[in-house]
Amino acid sequence: MPHEVIMPALGMAQETGLIVAWHKQAGEAVSTGEVLFEVETDKATMEVEAQADGYLNDVRAGAGDEVPVGGVIALIGETAEDPAPATPAPEPAADAEDALPEGHNVIMPALGMAQDTGMIVAWHKAPGDAVGREDVLFEVETDKSTMEVEAGADGYVAALLAEAGEAAPVGDTIAVITAEKPDAPVQRSLAGAPATPAPEPAPEPAASEPAPPAKPTPKQPPAPARSDGRILASPKARRLALEQGLDLARLVEAGHPQPYHAADIEVLKSLPETAPAAAAGAASASRRLVAELPQEGFTAFADWAADSAGLKDPGALLAGLAAASLSRDTATVAVERPGRTTLYTVPPGPFARIEPAKDGAAPDLRLRDLRHSRVVQVELGAEEVPVLTLTAAGDGLAVTLECPGGALAAADTVTLLTEFAGRMEQPLRHLL
Amino acid sequence: MSDTKHNTEDYLRMYRQMVRIRTFEDNANQLYLSAKMPGLTHMYSGEEAVAVGICEALTDSDRITSTHRGHGHCVAKGAEFKAMFCELLGKEEGYCRGKGGSMHIADQSHGNLGANAIVGGSMGIATGSALRAKLQGAEDVTVCFFGDGATAQGLMYEVMNMAALWNLPVIYACENNGYSEYTKTEEIAAGSITARAEAFGIEAHQVDGQDVLGVNALMQDLVPRARKGEGPFFVELMTYRYHGHHVGDINREYYRAKDEEQDWKENRDPIIRMRAWLVEQGIASEDEIEAMNSEIREDAAAAVDYALKAPYPDTREVDMHVYTDIAHACA
Amino acid sequence: MREITLSKAVNEALAEEMRRDETVFIIGEDVAEAGTPFKVLSGLVEEFGTDRVLDTPISEPGFMGIAVGAAMTGARPVVDLMFGDFLFLIMDQLCNQAAKSYYMSGGKLNVPLVLRTNLGATRRSAAQHSQSLHALVAHIPGLKVAMPSSAYEAKGLMKTAIRDDNPVVIFEDKLMYNDKAPVPEEEFLIPFGQANIKREGRDVTLIGTSSMVQVCEAAAETLAAEGISAEVIDPRTIVPLDEATLLASAKKTSRVIVVDEGHQSFGVTGEIASRINEKAFYHLDAPVLRMGAMDVPVPFSPALEDITVPTPEGVAEAARRLMSGEMIHAA
């Protein structure tokens, strides 16, 4: 069996060796200890001795070739004519898979101010195509703009090293243009390309260089409380709430101070039941719904009430309609008009019984009457109780309901707004 | 050469062991160069007469501690090729189940307490082994191998002091191969190395480390004396390493001339000298020696082949052998 | 039950084990007639002689290395390292040699030795004689680390350590040598890796090592008067660590403070806190707190030294903050 002549590993961190010169020719007799070739690595050149007696055959790499460590570069056989065994590809050929053609390297250009990568939108040339210096080679997208990039050299596309849709780091070679038409043009993707020539022809793909993240966004410390809807609670309190099907958001609504600990779960359990869906609802999201209706209904009703029933305060009427929509026995409603807020207590029964509430009473609902303001649309975010806002909408009226997710289940908000809009449109019918 | 009473078998075994070491190293070198061996390795080639001359004067119950350049000590103390190559390649059947590698081969069945990757790191261990022998009334002797570079470590002087105070059966064997890693010994060692031992009242000798019979003759004298409580002893063995500090140390002309290497290889090689002496004395013919050499070569080639094909340890072994009584340390 | 000092407990443990197993011997500086500066070993040389209670020169790396070699070859040395601070002198022999030998040899060469040393500040000994360096060795796989908190543990753990087949480092608190505790007359051992629940509690777990167990007990007493029920746990060995007991307590009380006299950063407190965080997270009602020694070299002046170590008042105050939920604002 012929002895394999191998590119030796000589340096501490060496992956390839450059053959400087062969001291023996193919077919020449060699004996153990004779200098076979010279190799350069780690800035040193050294002579490598034959490790077997015989004849040098099948020299697969010549002077000037860079060969991976461990690669077979020749054989020492028993006869000068020892035919090369049917080893498929000689090592340098295998190496060529990793090596790139020599030529003009096209790099991913830096186009933006703070750009780390560029995304290749499309290649305008295929491997092997002839290309002129000013021909558009590819399109690149960066910083939200797309631009065409010229080849920059005349010749042939010998290698495309990234595929359309891939982001290549700025400055990386993404194509090679050679003067001569290439025999075997290379086409690779960034994802599949080895980062550097592998130390040995192991098929294991080297880790691809992932495009560096555009910019490391400094991580903000979590906001101290509430502003982002996050509830501060200990891991144990969260676990207990989860196990018992309790919603910590209800503690928030109840105004119980954060952070919550296991002991606060007892407080949570003692809170009165509200809408059964509350526990299931997404506690943090706020809700907003808008209804549109003609405005004549309420205007006519207000006129009639003032003339016929002696109810001259339209604010009380609004409070009454809103409270009725809440389906609650007695409700406190705050009616806000620009510059003035009035709190009403709305008992069951006729509107005549509606009267201003005591100072400091907590409203169950706010009604913001902006029909006569310039405001046409509101999105003020949830407040602690549901808010109904009236705005003009063309000739008609828009009613916007906003409330915290924990305050009303989704279905309940729809009911509330539908009820209120209905009453505003046809107040008398609902009163009857 | 020595005129001590050796029989033919002893001479042939010494020669054979030296060739086994050289052959082992040639194969290890090739494994490294062909990137088949993980890690780093340090060649003992050139120093064979030291390990063999000393270990041939020891029994299996005598202990040695070895160094990063330890393959020679390991072979000389009786280790097998297969388990050694397996260890070099990180295989399950290696002497240390692949957990030690080239720099940590231990073979306690032959009294090898292990190679050590800390220069001078085993001097305490060797001295402790000798203390144990003395305390327990055992007859074994411990040989501490170390290089000239290790004489710069403070531990050596602490333990030699105690060994001398307590007359311990330990022999400090300083393999002076002329170089402390990439530096000439004369640049790192002031004064005389043997004089340092003598300062503690330790009997010290300097001997030609390329003359296996001379080394062995000295040890045949010192080992029984150490057994009788006349130790410790110190021996400086003048020798030479043919390779660089480690296998990748190729560009070494800045510290060592090629002519010098050539001179040692051609004119002072312990194997060539012993071979010539065997033929001259009529102990073996050239043909017999060639047959022995090729048998060793085949033996080594078979062991390499075996080791290359041998399985790696199961990954479940990774947290085994951290503690004697905890099967998996990370479980 | 009779009460004896921690010093006497260690002395008894050594004497009993040396009577039981003649391979056990003590080696270190001034261990024989002097009985160490703390007089822990007084009387042992009279019973066992200078062959088993070996005075060494002031050569810590030397006698540590010798102990490794003796242990590797069949003896059971107990190394006396006069001050824990001298660990830095013996690091190679302890961490590169003793700790790794069993693993590097693939389970062939174990090192059954005990390293007795100490820890503890507030003895007005300044920065080089006051350190608590147990975390340093607990970091190294292959070493076991025991931390007795009273005379009872000192005896039971020492006897177990001597019988262990691995290298064990025992840290005695040098301020506790004269502290008395009930210790049975009859023989007993304390297994490694079994924490001791010193005091049961409901609201907060105080995990303390060595003398910090006393600190935790005193804090628990204060807290009890305020209606806070603290559980106090002594792991007794930090390698191996009885994670199960610590986690069970953490899950029960939901609040944990780990108290240890090593420097707080990168130390034992952080390690234990981290394991509780990883394995009992959803049972925690507050962040696990670490209380270690201040991250400064130990100062000499009493005015400074006393504020560098955890105190019962400090532990109690931390517990109150945990109970009030105050700590979550720091999280």
Instruction: Encode pLDDT of C30-63 as tens digits.
Output: 999 999 999 999 999 999 999 999 999 999 999 9
Query: Can you give the residue ranges of every domain in chain A?
Result: 3-96, 104-187, 235-272, 287-431
- Paired residues of A176 in beta bridges: A105, A159
Interface of B with A (CB under 8 A): 26, 30, 32-36, 40, 247-248, 250-251
Q: Using an 8 Å Cβ cutoff, are A260 and A251 in contact?
A: yes
Q: Using an 8 Å Cβ cutoff, are B320 and B96 in contact?
A: no
Least confident of A100-109, B283-292, C181-190, C322-331: C322-331
State residue A289's pLDDT score: 87
Whether C207 has a pLDDT exceeding 90, the answer reads yes
pLDDT range class, residue A274, cuts 50, 70, 90: low
User: A1: which chain B residues are within 8 Å (Cβ-Cβ)?
Assistant: none
Q: Is C285 near chain A, with CB under 8 Å?
A: yes
Whether B154 has a pLDDT exceeding 50, the answer reads yes
Residue of A nearest to C252 (CA): A236
> For the sheet containing C204-208, what is the strand order?
C196-199, C230-234, C204-208, C256-263, C289-293
Closest CA to A238 of C203, C329, C284: C284
Which has more confidence, A148 or B258? B258
Does C240 sit behind a cis peptide bond, omega within 30 degrees of 0 on the bond before it?
yes
Q: Do the chains contact at C105 and B126, CB–CB below 8 Å?
A: no
State residue A87's pLDDT score: 47
Give the minimum alpha-carbon distance from A223 to chain C in angstroms, rounded to a whole number.
12
Least confident of A35-39, B193-197, C88-92, C313-317: A35-39
State residue C242's pLDDT score: 98
User: B250: which chain A residues are within 8 Å (Cβ-Cβ)?
Assistant: 10-11, 41-42, 44, 46
Chains that touch A (3 or more CB pairs under 8 A): B, C
State residue A227's pLDDT score: 56
Positive or negative torsion for Cα C56, C57, C63, C66: negative
State residue A160's pLDDT score: 85
Q: How far apart are CA A381 and CA A286, in angstroms?
A: 7
User: B35: which chain A residues are within 8 Å (Cβ-Cβ)?
Assistant: 6, 9, 69-70, 199-200
State residue C123's pLDDT score: 86
Whether A107 has a pLDDT exceeding 90, the answer reads no
Q: Is A96 near chain B, with CB under 8 Å?
A: no
Q: Residue written as tokens 């388990």?
A: B83
State residue A181's pLDDT score: 84
Q: How many secondary structure helices (H) and strands (E) does chain C include? A: 12, 14
To the nearest 10°, report the CA torsion of B289, B293, B299, B300: 160
State residue A212's pLDDT score: 45
Q: Do the chains contact at A261 and C285, CB–CB below 8 Å?
A: yes
The residue length of chain C stands at 331
State residue A307's pLDDT score: 85
* Per-residue pLDDT tens digits for C223-253: 999 999 999 999 999 999 999 999 999 999 9
State residue C331's pLDDT score: 43
> For the sheet containing A145-150, what is the strand order?
A145-150, A136-142, A117-123, A167-169
CATH 3.40.50.360 matches A287-431: no
Least confident of A94-98, B14-18, C122-126: A94-98
Residue of B nearest to C113 (CA): B128
Residues 151-210 of chain A whose Cβ lies under 8 A from any Cβ of chain B = 199-200
Domains and CATH numbers, chain C: 3-182 (3.40.50.970), 196-324 (3.40.50.920)
- Sequence-separated (6 or more) residues with CB below 8 Å from residue A303: none
How is domain A104-187 classified at the architecture level of CATH?
A: Beta Barrel (2.40)
pLDDT range class, residue A49, cuts 50, 70, 90: confident
Q: Indicate the average pLDDT of chain A.
A: 78
Beta-carbon count within 10 A of B176 CB: 23
* Per-residue pLDDT tens digits for A133-158: 888 888 887 665 777 888 888 888 88
- Best A4, A10, A67, A91 residue to mutate vs chain B (most B CBs within 10 Å): A10
Positive or negative torsion for Cα B235, B239, B245, B246: negative
Least confident of A146-160, B45-59, B97-111: A146-160
Please state the ipTM of this predicted complex: 0.91
The catalytic site residues of C sit at 60, 129
Residues 118-147 of chain B whose Cβ lies under 8 A from any Cβ of chain C = 118, 121-133, 135-136, 142
Domains and CATH numbers, chain B: 8-315 (3.40.50.970)
Which has more confidence, C114 or A162? C114
* Per-residue pLDDT tens digits for A9-39: 776 667 888 888 898 888 888 888 888 888 8
Least confident of A214-223, B233-242, C61-70, C196-205: A214-223
Average pLDDT for residues C275-285, to the nearest whole number?
A: 95
Q: Using an 8 Å Cβ cutoff, are C264 and C290 in contact?
A: yes
pLDDT range class, residue A257, cuts 50, 70, 90: confident
For the record, the structure tokens of B131 come out as 């203390």
State residue A395's pLDDT score: 84
State residue B214's pLDDT score: 97
pLDDT range class, residue B57, cuts 50, 70, 90: very high
Average pLDDT for residues B185-208, to the nearest whole number?
A: 96
Q: Provide the CATH topology of domain A3-96.
A: OB fold (Dihydrolipoamide Acetyltransferase, E2P) (2.40.50)
Percent of the residues in chain B that have a pLDDT greater than 90, as a whole number: 92
Q: Do the chains contact at A44 and B251, CB–CB below 8 Å?
A: yes
C61 to each of A199, B28, C253, how far by Cα in Å?
42, 34, 45
Q: How far apart are CA B32 and CA B22, in angstroms?
A: 15
pLDDT range class, residue B4, cuts 50, 70, 90: very low
State residue A83's pLDDT score: 52
Q: Which amino acid is at B227?
A: R
* Per-residue pLDDT tens digits for B222-235: 999 999 999 999 99
Q: Using an 8 Å Cβ cutoff, are B21 and B71 in contact?
A: yes
Whether A406 has a pLDDT exceeding 80, the answer reads no
State residue A115's pLDDT score: 64
User: B104: which chain C residues are within 8 Å (Cβ-Cβ)?
Assistant: 104-105
State residue B120's pLDDT score: 94
* Burial tier of A356 (Cβ tally within 10 Å: 0-12, 13-18, 19+): middle
Whether A207 has a pLDDT exceeding 60, the answer reads no
Percent of the residues in chain C that have a pLDDT greater than 70, as a whole number: 98
pLDDT range class, residue A281, cuts 50, 70, 90: very low
State residue A283's pLDDT score: 47
Q: Do the chains contact at C325 and A235, CB–CB below 8 Å?
A: no
Q: Residues C142-171, buried b or exposed e (16+ Cβ, 10 A)?
A: bbbbbbbbbbbbbbbbbbbbbbbebbbbbb
Q: Indicate the average pLDDT of chain B.
A: 95
Q: How far apart are CA A371 and CA A369, in angstroms?
A: 6
Q: How far apart are CA C119 and CA C171, in angstroms?
A: 6
State residue C326's pLDDT score: 64
State residue A113's pLDDT score: 57
Residues 187-246 of chain C whose Cβ lies under 8 A from any Cβ of chain B = 240
Of B26, B34, B250, the CB nearest to A6: B34
Strand-pair category, A16-22 with A3-6: unpaired
* Per-residue pLDDT tens digits for A152-181: 888 888 888 888 888 888 778 888 888 888
Average pLDDT for residues C256-269, to the nearest whole number?
A: 97
* Per-residue pLDDT tens digits for C140-153: 999 999 999 999 99
Average pLDDT for residues B98-114, to the nearest whole number?
A: 93
Strands (E), chain B: 63-65, 142-147, 170-176, 179-180, 183-184, 203-208, 233-238
Whether A337 has a pLDDT exceeding 90, the answer reads no
* Per-residue pLDDT tens digits for C152-203: 999 999 999 999 999 999 999 999 999 999 999 999 999 999 999 999 999 9
Same fold, A3-96 and A104-187: yes
DSSP A340-364: EEEEEEE-SS-GGG-EEPPTTPPPS
Q: Which amino acid is at A203?
A: P
Q: What is the pTM of this model?
A: 0.70
Chains that touch C (3 or more CB pairs under 8 A): A, B
